[in-house]
Amino acid sequence: MSMFLQLQDWQGTGPPHSRRAIPARGCGSPGTFWSRQGDPQVRKVAHRPVAGQTFRLRIVVACMLAPLRPCSTLLSISTTGASEYKLNNRVATYSAYNATLIQYNILLKAKNFLVFQGDVKAVASQSPKELARLIDQISSSLELAPHYEKAREALERATENATFNFTKRRGIAGEIKQYKEQKGEAERFEALCQERDELVLRRILFKLYYIQHSLEEHARAIKEQNQTLAGLHAEQRKHEKALEDARAEQARARSNIMQKEKRIKKAEKASETKRPDLVRIEAQIKHAERKREKAQQELEKLQQTEAEQQRALQENLQTVQRAANAAQEVQRRAAQTNLSLSEESLEEYRRLKASASILAVDERQSLETLSRDEKTAGRTLAQLKDKLEQLTQKRDKSSEEDRTQSQKKAELDEKVSKLAAELKRVKQEHDNQESERLRIEQLEKEINEKLVGIYEKLTQAGVDQQESQRETRLKETLANLQRIFPGVRGRAVDLCKPTQRKYETAVAVVLGRNIDAIIVDEEKTAIDCIEYMRNQRAGQATFIPLDTVQVKPVNDKFRAFAKGARLAVDVIHYDPAVERAMHHACGNALMCDSMEVARYVWYEKGQEVKAVTLEGTIIHKSGLMTGGKSSQHNSKKWEEKDVQGLQRVGDNLMAQLLELGKSKPRGKESEVLIAEISRLESALHVARDDQKANKTRLSGIKDELKHVEREIRALQPDLRKAQAAYDSVKGKIDALAAVVNEAEDGVFEEFCEEIGVANIREYEERQLKVAQAESEARLQFDTQIARLTHAIQFDEQQLRVMEERLNAYEDIIKSEGENLAKLEDEKTAAQEEIAEAEEAIQTLQDDLKELAEELEKKTKKVDEVKKTTNRAGKALDQALKDNLREEVALDVDEDEEGTQQVKRVSDFGIKVDFDSLDEDEREVRCRRE
């Protein structure tokens, strides 16, 4: 079914071509020209009157139903308001007309097709999606969408053919008009110019001949250029294919490098994981060795002490044996020297002893007293001598301990110095690693920042190259249009200029998609330009015709609406001739100094206008806020060599980054150093504690040695005094003993002669000495036996303890030996694994180096292919430009008043005869006038 609205009885002075095609699905927009034939389902043609013209019209609405149901309806409304209904060209009543339409699901709610402004506003306030849905629902196009698409394609083909035929017809009409004008001019001036006809005819033939000759030459040149272009296109495709292959090879090489780097990192990580185990095993080996050495040293000391105690025990046993032998010898000698007296002699001895006891009584009493004193002085002297001997032994022992502790102090001092030096070295190594890591991280940060800058420049270079190429093509196309079509004024961005530089970004945002729109004088010029660009395949462009563009009046209240807000059209300079286009592009958009002003206008004042800040931030009429554009316009024109230079710099920086990653200290090594620092600090702390304890003990030994020396010095006077007292008592005893002995010699003189002794004291001394010696020997033997027995028991106990300690140390040495053997095996295995990993890493690095060299070769090849491709592309572009100039040159001599149609020139069946021209005239070249 098809419907159309026809306006009849048009009256007025406006030109017929001022009517405007309105698409059936609402695709048109004010100020933009659309050349369309309408929807195949509904075709509406509306005539727009010109202001000041009078007209009358008659509206006819016709509905053509589907071919399967041949039926047609017609509604006509006259100027008087009367309506006429027809079914199949027969007049019918409204009820029959309405019933027929209802059968086809067409409802009529009004007697006319007029739409009130309120209904239009209600529909216009809907969103584009809702409007499209409403129109599709009303027109039933949703059900006919497939048919519509087929019809639209047919329409486009028909439109293209119609446009071509229309253009061709216009060209023919123009030429016919030209010939008619020439004919009329010839008829008017025939009487006056009869004598010049032959010359004019010859001149025209002359020009036509050379035009024909020029056409043939240009056609031949174009054909040759097309052949050249085909070769250049083939060469360009060949170079592009080579470039793609080279890039693919480069990508494969880069992918191989990345895979190798991943494998290297994985191998390095595995090696780093094994290195701490190796360090741990080595530390355990050192600890076990130190433990075994310490146990061996303690074992040797214990063995030495055991040997000394064994010798001491043997000496004690030998001393006991010697004491027993000495006691036996004393008894034997006493038995040999003992005098045996009879009973009578003993009785005589006792009687004489009693007689002698009454002689020198005072002396005897004094002698007994002095004997007691002599025993007391002897015991005191003996005690002092024993104490002096003990102090002397204690001094010797303290001196030996002082020497031992001093030697140990020297060893501890040396150990502390070594540990401190080792700790300082490890800390310095750790600090160096940390500083190196920080330096490498700083370098990596700087290189990464440079890489980010280079990638941004490369990205900007790609965008600039695309924009530059597009802008170049657009400028060339615009120059051709301005040369061919006189009504082309230029781009909107070139025809206006902000009053101040701070408005540049905001003006660009306000113009939006119209910034590159081409402003032309007439709609006809826009159509011709579109046709030219389509034929030349020169891209796409938006045209703004000054004669038909719709412009909304500027609301003057916005000129002083708020402080810091001004109309966009007031901050740009432009030619008054393009004022309509500028008002169409800018509308009532406001230029705000800041976001606060824009929010004030939109939210506080409630004005639904387009507000743009100086930074380019936009608040749209719908209330949506979008970010602005960068105020820094990059005017750098990137060339291929600049891009290649940036790529080389980026590759060098990536290589540097890779080398820095390889030379960067690993975290595991730092952890190992930290563990070693902790171990050394602990060992140093223990050594310093031992040093401090040794110092305290050595100080105590020295104080004790000084105290013993002081006691020895203090004991010397007492010993000398006791010795003097003992000597004095001994002298007195000797004097009194002489008096008593003289008295006893007188009494025992005869008795001594009988028993054969010199005096009685000799007999008494023998008997007394034997008993006393026997008693002393037995006492000394018993005492020594008891002391040695206790010493032997103590030595035996110490020997058992030492044997237990010796067994424990032997067990430690044995277990540590086994542990050392196990750790050595683990160390060997770890070293072999690390060696294998390092060998694999070295192999991978060699492969990576080869791949890097291959990548460099591929990159150079890509650069060379790029250069070749660029040269081929430039040659192709130059050939296209030359070909374009040749094609444009063919139409230079056409009528300037007519439409310039490139490539197609019709001869209208006229064949010019140049036989009347001489050969010489044909060879002469004449300039076009």
Element (H, E) at 286: helix 197-337
- Residue type, position 422, single letter: E
Question: CA 145 → CA 5, 127, 152, distances in Å?
Answer: 22, 21, 10
pLDDT value, residue 641: 52
Per the document, the length of the chain is 929
**pLDDT of 914 higher than 60:** no
> Which two three-digit tokens encode residue 713?
């010095």
Question: Any residues with CB less than 8 A from the CB of 830 and at least 6 apart, and which?
Answer: 274, 277, 278, 281
pLDDT value, residue 890: 43
> Which two three-digit tokens encode residue 775?
């008693």
Dihedral angle, C-alpha 827, 829, 830, 832, nearest 10 °:
120
3-state secondary structure of 205: helix
pLDDT value, residue 388: 85
pLDDT value, residue 387: 83
Residues 57 and 48: their CA atoms lie apart, in Å, by 12
Beta-bridge partners for 822: none
> Which two three-digit tokens encode residue 202?
């010859």
- Choose between 910 and 177: higher pLDDT: 177
pLDDT value, residue 518: 92
Q: What average pLDDT does range 285-298 have in this prediction?
A: 72
Half-sphere exposure at residue 864, Cβ-oriented, CA atoms within 13 angstroms: 10
Confidence of residue 692 (pLDDT cuts 50, 70, 90): confident
Taking every pair of C-alpha atoms in the chain, what is the biggest distance, in angstroms? Answer: 225
Q: What share of the chain is helix, strand, coil (3-state, %, to 5)?
A: 70, 5, 20
**pLDDT of 911 higher than 60:** no
Confidence of residue 262 (pLDDT cuts 50, 70, 90): confident
- Statement: the pTM of the whole predicted model exceeds 0.75: no
- Choose between 370 and 887: higher pLDDT: 370
Question: CA 485 → CA 299, 314, 520, 532, 887, distances in Å?
Answer: 116, 137, 9, 10, 16
Q: What average pLDDT does range 869-895 have in this prediction?
A: 57
Half-sphere exposure at residue 58, Cβ-oriented, CA atoms within 13 angstroms: 12
pLDDT value, residue 131: 82
Residues 730 and 146: their CA atoms lie apart, in Å, by 157
Q: Where are the domains of the chain?
A: 2-143
**pLDDT of 662 higher than 60:** yes
Question: Any residues with CB less than 8 A from the CB of 176 and at least 6 apart, and which?
Answer: 908
Cα torsion 822, 828, 831, 836: sign: negative
Beta-bridge partners for 85: 75, 92
**pLDDT of 302 higher than 90:** no
Half-sphere exposure at residue 920, Cβ-oriented, CA atoms within 13 angstroms: 0
pLDDT value, residue 545: 92
What secondary structure, in 3-state letters, does 861-918 show? HHHHHHHHHHHHHHHHHHHHHHHHHHHHHCCCCCCCCCCCCCCCCCCCCCCCCCCCCC
Q: Is 359 left (phi over 0), alpha (psi -120 to 50) or beta?
A: beta
pLDDT value, residue 519: 92
Judge whether 881 and 160 are in contact, CB under 8 Å. no
- Choose between 118 and 578: higher pLDDT: 578
Confidence of residue 76 (pLDDT cuts 50, 70, 90): low
Judge whether 634 and 464 are in contact, CB under 8 Å. yes
Angle at 748 between CA 746 and CA 751, to 5 degrees: 140
Element (H, E) at 87: strand 83-87
Least confident of 2-16, 324-338, 415-429, 513-527: 2-16
Judge whether 819 and 287 are in contact, CB under 8 Å. no
Question: Any residues with CB less than 8 A from the CB of 836 and at least 6 apart, and which?
Answer: none
Least confident of 296-305, 478-487, 537-546, 767-776: 767-776
Neighbours of 528 (CB within 10 A): 22
Least confident of 25-34, 129-138, 648-657, 687-696: 25-34
Cα torsion 810, 814, 815, 820: sign: positive
178-218: pLDDT as tens digits? 888 888 877 877 777 777 777 777 788 878 888 888 888 87
| Whole-number CA gyration radius for the chain | 67
Judge whether 73 and 101 are in contact, CB under 8 Å. yes
Per DSSP, the residues of 612-675 read EETT--EE-TTS-EE----S--------HHHHHHHHHHHHHHHHHHHHHHHHSPPHHHHHHHHH
Judge whether 239 and 870 are in contact, CB under 8 Å. no
Q: What average pLDDT does range 251-256 have in this prediction?
A: 75
Residue 42: exposure state from Cβ atoms within 10 A (0-12, 13-18, ≥19) = buried
**pLDDT of 892 higher than 70:** no
pLDDT value, residue 22: 32
Residues 444 and 452: their CA atoms lie apart, in Å, by 12
- Choose between 639 and 525: higher pLDDT: 525
Q: What average pLDDT does range 10-24 have in this prediction?
A: 35
Beta-bridge partners for 63: 3, 73
Judge whether 24 and 86 are in contact, CB under 8 Å. no
Phi first, then psi: what are they for 748, rounded to 5°? -100, 20
Phi first, then psi: what are they for 84, rounded to 5°? -130, 130
> Which two three-digit tokens encode residue 633?
């316009």
Phi first, then psi: what are they for 38, rounded to 5°? 100, 175
pLDDT value, residue 520: 93
Question: CA 247 → CA 184, 235, 252, 847, 858, distances in Å?
Answer: 69, 18, 8, 21, 8
Phi first, then psi: what are they for 497, rounded to 5°? -150, 130
Q: What average pLDDT does range 56-85 have in this prediction?
A: 57
Residues 828 and 282: their CA atoms lie apart, in Å, by 10
Judge whether 606 and 529 are in contact, CB under 8 Å. no
Residues 258 and 253: their CA atoms lie apart, in Å, by 9
Mean pLDDT of the chain: 72
Confidence of residue 916 (pLDDT cuts 50, 70, 90): low
Element (H, E) at 413: helix 361-484
Neighbours of 546 (CB within 10 A): 21
Least confident of 166-170, 529-533, 874-878: 874-878
Judge whether 408 and 694 are in contact, CB under 8 Å. yes
543-545 β-sheet, strand order: 488-491, 518-520, 543-545
pLDDT value, residue 691: 84
334-374: pLDDT as tens digits? 555 555 556 666 676 667 667 666 666 677 777 778 778 88
Confidence of residue 269 (pLDDT cuts 50, 70, 90): confident
Residues 515 and 513: their CA atoms lie apart, in Å, by 5
Query: Strands 611-613 and 590-592, how do they pair?
Result: parallel
Least confident of 171-175, 494-498, 505-509, 925-929: 925-929
- Choose between 352 and 727: higher pLDDT: 727
**pLDDT of 255 higher than 80:** no
Q: Which residue has the tokens 């009409």?
A: 173
611-613 β-sheet, strand order: 565-567, 590-592, 611-613, 618-619, 625-626
* Percent of the chain clearing pLDDT 70 (strictly above): 68
Least confident of 125-129, 162-166, 553-557, 796-800: 796-800
